[in-house]
Chains A and B, each alone.
Chain A
Amino acid sequence: MKTMLRGNEAVAYAFKLAKINVFPMFPITPSTLVPEMISKFVANGELDAEFIPLDSEHSAISAAIGASLKGARVGTATASQGLALMHEILFIASGMRLPIVMGIGNRALSAPINIWCDHQDTMAERDAGWLQFYAESNQESLDLILMAFKISEDKRVLLPSMVGLDAFVLTHTMEPVDIPEQSKVDEFLGELKARYRTLDTKNPATFGAFGSPRHYMEFRYAQHFAMERAKHVIDEVFKEFGEKFGRNYSKINEEFTEDADIVFITMGSCSGTAREFIKMKRKEGKKIGLIKITVFRPFPKDEIRKALKGKKVVAVIDRNFSPGFGGAVYGEVLATMYGETETKIIDFIVGLGGRDITFQTFEKVLEIAEKSLEGEVEKINWIEVDKEAVEKEEMK
């Protein structure tokens, strides 16, 4: 059944369909509507779950760990500073191998305070050992949450997942969303069954206590091993989801890439704008293709390498920035393409702190990408930024 939903509502419906048992929360813009909806579901008796309001995000994710250790299916939602406050506990969740699923309204980090969209919050947690998915639409937000539970809870994975949806562009924008039937979701996700050792007074154990230098590296290697296996599990789950619900997903989406000289790489909601821009440009005879990254952790190296093989120019659209280096996606694509010397990889920093990514933005990206066919261009390009004003002030 198609309903008009905001992205946050789609996430809340996904948690309801997944029949989560526990939802620990602390509200933060732009994710607040998720806990609001869940509290309504619980109050109405539509969802049999424990709704736990806490004193901070740090406590919310800690409660999520406790509940997950007891074998509960746990969801929560946060964004930006909230996710940053969870930082140290994120590593504990993944180290303890707990399949928690979290919805993130991708938002910029302070200072200055900015509540709008970019991917800096989740990028800063790239190394936390969580799987990372990025949604292009509200439908994808709902679907990816459901699939994230199935992937995270798989015995071969047992790592937590975060699903990012762009602040406001998705979280607060209405789109038609197909809410799958409960019976079909039940069939897809199965009965909740913790496939790991849980808290049990009759069978006591110690969790996450201590790993000396003699053992710690093995536990880290275990996370690497699980991430590698997750690549296969993701493919399996995406395929099964496609068969059951008729919506197909893959780690990366390739469009118009076959004959393309220039390929754009995008993540999140700006993929739609990029697609329309590319369609328009192709009508003018320009050979441009698009790769949308849906799964950022584990990073789909093999797929990207294969898709970009022999391409002349790759324009990486980064909605994040690592000061002192460049965009995070750029860095990963660069490493993935090591040795492919005929492909030029160029970084474009765009849309930070909610600045709109429009056709004009992509026009500028394309201009530089095309120029690189003829000669050298800057490796890292800040698009639509008043550099002059900044440099004047900095040089004072």
Chain B
Amino acid sequence: MKITRGAVVEEAGNSIENKTGTWRTFKPIIDYTKCIRCMICWEFCPEPSIYKEDGSEKPAPKEALKKLPVPIIDYDYCKGCGICVNECPVKAIDFVKEVK
């Protein structure tokens, strides 16, 4: 952080530098063999640190689902709030104690 008068952050778009992933105690891990690609976790993530990516390479409960994008957790910013774990309708997200 630059020392500015009145603690003004002079440039926009730099919250990206603050990697909030270090705050995490529990880590959500998506089990793609169960994930139905509904994107409810992506919608609920408050950070947001879940983004969409091409899912053709990931395992899926049904072959047809591979055509849809998958949710990917960005662990640099995920604070481990567990909202995605709670919201997942097929219980496809594990919540495990962070080991550092």
Residue ranges of A at the interface with B (Cβ–Cβ < 8 Å): 95-98, 158, 196-197, 204-212, 214-215, 218-219, 222
Label chain B's interface by main secondary structure. Answer: loop
B90 within 8 A of A: no
Among B9, B10, B11, B12, residue most surrounded by chain A Cβ atoms (within 10 Å)? B9
A96 lies within 8 A of B1 (CB): no
The answer to whether A98 and B3 touch (CB under 8 A), given A204-B12, A205-B11, A205-B12, is no
A394 to B12, CA, bound (A): 60
A98 to B8, CA, bound (A): 12
Contacts of A214 in B (CB 8 A): 1
How many chain-B residues does the 8 Å CB contact rule pick out? 11
Contacts of B11 in A (CB 8 A): 205
A13 smallest CB distance to B (angstroms): 30
Contacts of B5 in A (CB 8 A): 97, 158, 196-197, 222
Instruction: State which of A97, A204, A212, A215 has its C-beta within 8 Å of the C-beta of B6.
Output: A97
B7 within 8 A of A: yes
Among B1, B5, B11, B12, residue most surrounded by chain A Cβ atoms (within 10 Å)? B5
Q: Which B residues from 43 to 89 make CB contacts under 8 A with A?
A: none
Contacts of A197 in B (CB 8 A): 4-6, 8, 10
Instruction: State which of B3, B6, B9, B10 has its C-beta within 8 Å of the C-beta of A95.
Output: B6
A205 lies within 8 A of B3 (CB): no
A205 lies within 8 A of B9 (CB): yes
Residue ranges of B at the interface with A (Cβ–Cβ < 8 Å): 1, 3-12
The answer to whether A98 and B6 touch (CB under 8 A), given A212-B1, A214-B1, is yes
Contacts of A206 in B (CB 8 A): 8-9, 12
Instruction: State which of B7, B9, B10 has its C-beta within 8 Å of the C-beta of A96.
Output: B7
Question: Please, could you name 25 A-B residue pairs with CB atoms under 8 Å apart, sorted by A?
Answer: A95-B6, A96-B6, A97-B6, A98-B6, A158-B5, A196-B6, A197-B4, A197-B8, A197-B10, A205-B8, A205-B11, A206-B12, A207-B6, A207-B9, A208-B6, A209-B9, A210-B7, A211-B7, A212-B1, A215-B1, A215-B7, A218-B3, A219-B3, A219-B6, A222-B3
A196 to B11, CA, bound (A): 15
A81 to B5, CA, bound (A): 31
Label chain A's interface by main secondary structure. Answer: loop
A205 to B5, CA, bound (A): 13
A211 to B9, CA, bound (A): 10
Q: Which residue of B lies closest to A96 (CB)?
A: B6
A154 to B72, CA, bound (A): 51
Contacts of A97 in B (CB 8 A): 5-6
Contacts of B12 in A (CB 8 A): 204-206
A63 smallest CB distance to B (angstroms): 18
The answer to whether A205 and B6 touch (CB under 8 A), given A211-B1, A212-B1, is no
Among B1, B6, B8, B11, residue most surrounded by chain A Cβ atoms (within 10 Å)? B6
A266 smallest CB distance to B (angstroms): 35
The answer to whether A205 and B10 touch (CB under 8 A), given A212-B1, A214-B1, is yes
Q: Which residue of A lies closest to B9 (CB)?
A: A206
A214 to B5, CA, bound (A): 16
Contacts of A98 in B (CB 8 A): 6
B12 smallest CB distance to A (angstroms): 4
Contacts of A210 in B (CB 8 A): 7
Contacts of B8 in A (CB 8 A): 197, 205-208
Given contacts A196-B6, A215-B3, 13 further A-B contacts (CB under 8 A): A95-B7, A96-B7, A197-B6, A197-B8, A205-B8, A206-B12, A207-B8, A209-B7, A211-B1, A211-B7, A215-B1, A218-B3, A219-B7
**6 A-B pairs with least C-beta separation:** A206-B9, A97-B6, A204-B12, A96-B6, A197-B8, A215-B1
A29 to B15, CA, bound (A): 45
A93 smallest CB distance to B (angstroms): 10
A142 smallest CB distance to B (angstroms): 29
Q: Which residue of A lies closest to B2 (CB)?
A: A215
